[in-house]
Structure 1
Amino acid sequence: MGIVQPENTSQNDVPVGEQPIRRDLNDPEATFEDLPFTPLLTEKQSKRANQTFKGMLLSVGFTIAVIIPLLLLNPANKEESFQHPVDLQAVASEVSGVADFKVFAPQVSGDEYANFARWKSNQIQDVSYWEFGLVMDETNFVYVRQSADANPTWIALVTDNAIPSDERVINGHNWEVRKKDQTVYMISNFKDSTLIISSDTGEEELMTVVQAAEAQGL
């Protein structure tokens, strides 16, 4: 039986105790054994890497140093910053010059305020009307519309076709009550105008505005 000679390869030629020479990774015959255990960097490459890392730290530190003063100078918006009160009495005074009726504008106090007030000329069904919104107790809202040209179609449209559900007499004056989902509408005809007061947040605030309308003597 003949003696089998070891295959003559470059790996078998490496003397014992010495590190094998790794093939270039682009060599088609390269194997996992040819991968370096750690990346080998020259002194210049190592210095550039350290400089890049230090530059990144300086950049982050500079960004933080700029942002912190801006945050301190611009604190988070408080709830009051989202309020946009308008001078209801002043706007009502201007509207009185074009309206053919006594304009309803209740006095507001405390946490109550009007967040809009305007005259709508020839809008729905060519009806011009005065409208404003009252924010009460920060969360409750009452919507008021008043017109001298109200008709059944206009009333149906602005009340979202709410169905009449009740009638109430307040200070000897009749009010029709309509409801649609969570919204309650109270409608009454005064001497020169029709008033529609509505709310979807509670009848207590609604009745407060109704009482104010009665007290103003429209």
Structure 2
Amino acid sequence: MAKNTEPRIVAELGRPETPEETFARKAETSRKHRANQTLLNLVGATVASLVIVLFLVLVVVRPSTETPVVADYQTIAADAQTNASEPLLAPEIPEAWYANAARLGTTSAVQTWYVGFVTAATDSSAAQFIALEQGIEANPTWLGIVTDGALATSTTTIDGIQWTIYDRRSSADTGNYAYSMSAEIASSTVVLHGTAADAQFELLAAAIAADSEAQ
């Protein structure tokens, strides 16, 4: 069948299109098609962006509901005691506190008992951290390591035990060594260091004094 080459009759004109009108019509059709494609692409990109944002909000940014790791430090201390030549400190702590780690190891060749305590949150601050490190027959090198090389700033006595204070809270990037305390208890050097307030350090120091007295 031969291809129809008759000019297209346009109803609005009542006559066949001129070549110029045909060209203009096709150009306008192409323009509208491109505009529609651009709109569809824009809508698609917007929807994709919203999906990504929703994913970040629901999955990435949502608060963690994981249960914190809790270490039964008093049981661990009792089990490790057979390998220690000095009674290991396992003081009673407030009910709202907990230990997140406890282990007997060595630091700079000194047998070291370590417990990490997480304090209770208050109305004015989040939960904080205090580490207890007990070096059995420790030396100055060990003390320098577990206080992160801090210089003594003052001393205090809590329940009969004299503590040396290392306060670096005014310095930047001190992390868990922002505040430290050290004391000699029997044949051990005991260091507390962390981010908690003075009152929380003093509470733990008093608990240590009671524990060492009981031993």
Q: TM-score normalized by structure 1?
A: 0.60
1:209 and 2:204 correspond = yes
Match of 1:197 among 181, 186, 192: 192
Once the two structures are superposed, residues 35-89 of structure 1 have per-residue CA deviations (whole angstroms, 9 ceiling, x without a partner) of: xxxxx981452243134224314423542574476457537343x6588433142
- Per-residue deviation, residues 92-135 of structure 1 (Å, max 9, x unmatched): 455435333332233445542334433332x32x1121222222
- Aligned counterparts, 1:18-167, within 5 A: 42-60=27-45, 62-63=47-48, 66-67=51-52, 70=55, 73-74=58-59, 76-78=61-63, 84-89=68-73, 91-121=76-106, 123-124=107-108, 126-136=109-119, 137=121, 138-159=126-147, 160-163=149-152, 165-167=154-156
Over 3 Å counting, the alpha-carbon distance change for 1:150 and 1:77 in structure 2 is: farther
Cα 1:177–1:67 shift into 2, 3 Å: same
Aligned 8 A contact 1:187 1:196 in 2: yes
8 Å Cα contact 2:115/2:132 also seen in 1: yes
Letter in 1 for 2:85: D
Say if 1:88 and 1:114, in contact at 8 Å, map to a contact too: yes
Q: For the residues of structure 1 that align with 2:150 and 2:57, how far apart are their CA atoms? A: 51
Counterpart in 1 of 2:161? 174
Once residues 75 and 161 of structure 1 are traced to their aligned partners in structure 2, the CA distance between those partners, rounded to angstroms, is: 38
Q: Higher helix fraction: Structure 1 or Structure 2?
A: 2
Runs (5+) with no aligned partner, structure 1: 1-39
Matched, 1:187 2:192: no
Secondary structure in 2 matching 1:96: helix
Question: Could you tell me how far apart the structure 1 residues matched to 2:77 and 2:143 are?
Answer: 22
Give the stretch that moved more between structures: 90-99 or 44-53: 90-99
Segment drifting more, 143-152 vs 199-208: 199-208
- Measured in 1, the distance between the counterparts of 2:68 and 2:142 equals 29
Q: 3-state SS of the aligned residue for 2:88? A: coil
Size of the alignment, in residue pairs? 173
| Change in 2 beyond 3 A, CA 1:48/1:97 | farther
Contact 1:185/1:199, CA 8 A, preserved across alignment: no
| 1:148 to partner: Cα distance | 1.4
Amino acid in the other structure paired with 1:187: A
- The one-letter code of the counterpart of 1:50 is A
User: TM-score, length-normalised on structure 2?
Assistant: 0.61
Q: Comparing both chains, which one has the higher relative contact order based on Cα–Cα distances under 8 Å and sequence gaps of 6 or more? A: 2
